[in-house]
Amino acid sequence: MKRALYKFFGALFLLLIILYAIPIPSTGQDVEGLSLPESKFIEVCGLKVHYVEKPGEGNLLLLHGFGASTFSWRYLLKSDLGMKVVTFDRPGFGLTERKNPKELPCNPYSPEGAAELTLELMDKLGMEKATLVGHSAGAGIAILVAIKAPERVEKLVLVSPAWGARNQSNLQKFVFSLPWAEKYFPLVLRLSVGRLENILENAWYNKSKLTDEVREGYKMPLKAKDWDKGLFWVTKYSSYPDITEELKNLMIPTLIIYCREDAIVPLESGERLHSILPNSQLVVMEKCGHLPHEEKPEEFLKILEDFLES
């Protein structure tokens, strides 16, 4: 019996070695080859970061959510806020270059590293101080920036913020530490594009506004080189710290925007955040989902303008 087990595990180990040795070709093309007329690139934290800039007075920096890109801020970029507006593709998304974090001076795929990259981007773009507008996971990064460097943040606008502590289980940590995970998890993601589209479907309350044009706008970054590896690194390093105590002392004027029908991050999360942040106000939009700046752009812009002018 023992001999049979030894043979089995020996054969299994050999199979794993063979699988690990089989090369998997990269997917997609260089990000600059996919650039749009308004696209700009700048090196931050060792990465070629894609951003879009609209000139004006004052600074408004936009941070998109998970799976999104500068595309999700298209209505705000077209509006006349009279401010300099900058939006960039957070590492792992959009047209920002994907590189192994082991090769970089910071890990931009982790929330803390993403906050560090955001501050470095502000430095390079000459934004000494800015109002940060973050959506979902991007709002979580905006909060970390405000905690790390409150003197750099004029105001905070948190749209459906994903801000709760997230910790990986021991099993997840073990799986992600395996050498095979780095190689084969991205391949699994390539085969799961349909599931990623379902997440987008759940983000909208009024499905009629989720047009083919919008779907294509979200899918376009999947043409970027190593998009699957970038998404893997974001997933691997996704743990978010418990910031409850830090929030109690954050005095930056903050607007929290939620939608009552949000199926991704429930309204209760926003109400709790509002109760903790001492200098915050909560606005609840009706009959829209997780993307109010896309689903109800006119109403969203009016709420934003009133807050910026207050």
- pLDDT tens for the chain, residues 1 to 310: 556 555 554 554 554 455 555 666 778 889 999 998 999 999 999 999 999 999 988 899 999 999 999 999 999 999 988 899 999 999 999 999 999 999 999 999 999 999 999 999 999 999 999 999 999 999 999 999 999 999 999 999 999 999 999 888 888 888 888 878 888 889 888 888 777 778 889 999 999 999 999 999 999 999 999 999 999 999 999 999 999 999 999 999 999 999 999 999 999 999 999 999 999 999 999 999 999 999 999 999 999 999 999 8
Comparing CA positions, the residue from 159, 193, 195 lying closest to residue 73 is 159
46: region left, alpha or beta (phi > 0 left; psi from -120 to 50 alpha): left
For residue 94, give the nearest of 162, 131, 39, 53 by alpha carbon: 39
- Count of residues in the chain: 310
Parse the chain into domains and list their residue ranges. Answer: 27-309
Q: Pick the closest to residue 163 from 181, 139, 147 (CA basis).
A: 139
User: What is the DSSP-derived secondary structure letter of residue 43?
Assistant: E
What class has domain 27-309?
Answer: alpha beta
Report pTM.
0.91
Could you tell me which residues come within 8 angstroms of residue 117 by beta carbon, excluding any fewer than 6 positions away? 44, 45, 47, 49, 91, 106, 108
CB 252 within 8 A of CB 279: yes
